[in-house]
Chains A and B, each alone.
Chain A
Amino acid sequence: MVIRVKLFAAMSELAGSDCVEIELPDGASVAELRRQLAGQWPLIRSLLSRSAIAINHDFADHERILQSTDEVAVIPPVSGG
């Protein structure tokens, strides 16, 4: 399945885009998504390790299984306020 991943702030600057597409096997977890992102976009690796993953507007843990219809985003450390 192809997952579109939204990127924000320094994450989108490092990747050069506010959205990337990634091919994952069906049943892939958030942990697998992280490995693939880090592998394909080495520049984001360091910030990714300090970032959370959101699925459908909620924070997701490493074991969460992705669906092709999920809205997925990388959430780097927030700095609102």
Chain B
Amino acid sequence: MFHLTREAIDYATLTEAVRSPRCGAVVLFLGTVRDLTGEQVTVFLDYEAYAPMAEKKLAEIEAEVRRRWPVGEVALVHRLGRLAVGEVSVAVAVSCPHRREAFAACQFAIDTLKQLVPIWKRENAPDGRGEWVHQSVSADVACSPAQEQP
């Protein structure tokens, strides 16, 4: 399951939703809004998505996670809109029979999400200045389909 939301992410409910009797391991990753990037203070972030493409890429990541690992359930949720420091921007929850595969599946899901899903954040400083974050990755990296990611 996956979705984009403008509401606070209920990660307790999400974690509960991926639990399964045949899975002995549940891994939850939360991305939260950090107050400092280097020496730059952030007071809030704005997240924007190209929603239909973001949903398609999230579906592809979910399918790839299920193909590679014996997943019981996997959930990917990304928040959009304005987020204060400390709020949860993304949650990935994965259940598997054993912990090693659950950790690997969760790490792959969040790493691939950060690499491929068309969502952008704008960091807003205390003085009112804001800047979209577009780190220098080559277009070739962005063009790689999820299946080719390590």
Interface residues of A (CB under 8 A from B): 6, 8-10, 13, 47, 49-52, 54, 57-61, 73, 75-81
Contact = CB atoms under 8 A, between A and B. Distances in A.
Contacts of B113: 80-81
**Lowest 3 CB-CB distances: which A-B pairs, in order?**
A80-B119, A9-B120, A10-B132
Contacts of A13: 132
Majority secondary structure of chain B interface residues (helix, strand, loop or mixed): mixed
B132 A81 contact: no
Contacts, number: 93
A42 B118 CA distance: 23
B56 A57 contact: yes
Interface in B22-65: 31, 47-50, 52-54, 56-57
A79 B56 contact: no
A9 B50 CA distance: 10
B132 A75 contact: no
A8 B120 CA distance: 8
B12 interface: no
A58 B147 CA distance: 13
Contacts of B110: 81
A81 B6 CA distance: 14
A77 B134 contact: yes
A52 B138 CA distance: 8
Given A10-B132, A58-B56, A81-B89, A50 B118 contact: no
